[in-house]
């Protein structure tokens, strides 16, 4: 009777380990991308594969379960390391400096505001804001 069950449970355990390895790879990719929902779904399906790989232990085959457990541990560790490397090596934005000649700047824009340049959150294109006064008619506008 034990040999009959072993014939049945070992292939189920191997299939469960294969499913767990596939889900661990998806979880590693999801962690590296920062997709928490995908990682949670992959780990949820990994649990099913790990439970299926546990079926092989009834025939004293522990290797599918160990492979399933180590696959998730390696996937989560590799995904975290890859995410850290991607975040630290991401290219930093280069700020461009625009120079305006003094002849054109004085004629076109008499006032230059430095508030945008002092703000750390200001984009590079608005490093300097040029303002000029506008003359209006002298008649008051009725409210």
pLDDT in tens, 88-142: 988 676 676 666 666 655 555 555 445 544 545 545 555 566 566 666 656 666 6
Say if residues 31 and 12 touch (Cβ distance below 8 Å).
no
Residue 33 and residue 84 in one domain: yes
Residue 6 and residue 54 in one domain: yes
What contacts 50, CB < 8 A, 6 or more positions away?
A: 16, 20, 65, 68, 69, 72
Say if residues 65 and 32 touch (Cβ distance below 8 Å).
no
Residue 138 lies inside a defined structural domain of this protein? no
Residue 69 and residue 107 in one domain: no
- Sign of dihedral through CA atoms 69, 72, 75, 77? negative
Tell me the C-alpha distance between 23 and 38, whole Å: 10
Sequence length of the chain is 143
Residue 15 and residue 58 in one domain: yes
φ, ψ of residue 14 in degrees (nearest 5): -65, -40
Say what the pTM is.
0.61
- What is the domain count for the chain? 2
pLDDT confidence bin for 5, thresholds 50/70/90: confident
pLDDT confidence bin for 28, thresholds 50/70/90: very high
Tell me the C-alpha distance between 29 and 82, whole Å: 9
Tell me the C-alpha distance between 121 and 127, whole Å: 10
Residue 137 lies inside a defined structural domain of this protein? no
Q: Which domain holds residue 113?
A: 102-131
């Amino acid at each position: 009777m034990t040999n009959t069950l072993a014939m049945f449970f070992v292939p189920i355990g191997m299939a469960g380990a294969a499913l767990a390895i596939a889900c661990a790879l998806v979880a590693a990719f999801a962690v590296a991308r920062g997709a928490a929902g995908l990682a949670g779904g992959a780990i949820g399906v990994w649990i099913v594969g790990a439970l299926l790989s546990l079926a092989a232990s009834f025939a004293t085959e522990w290797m599918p379960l160990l492979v399933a457990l180590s696959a998730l541990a390696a996937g989560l560790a590799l995904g975290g390391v890859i995410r850290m490397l991607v975040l630290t090596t991401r290219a930093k934005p280069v700020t461009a400096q625009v120079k305006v000649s003094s002849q054109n700047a004085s004629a076109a824009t008499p006032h230059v505001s430095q508030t945008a340049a002092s703000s750390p959150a200001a984009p590079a294109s608005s490093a300097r804001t040029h303002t000029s006064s506008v003359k209006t008619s002298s008649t008051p506008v009725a409210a």
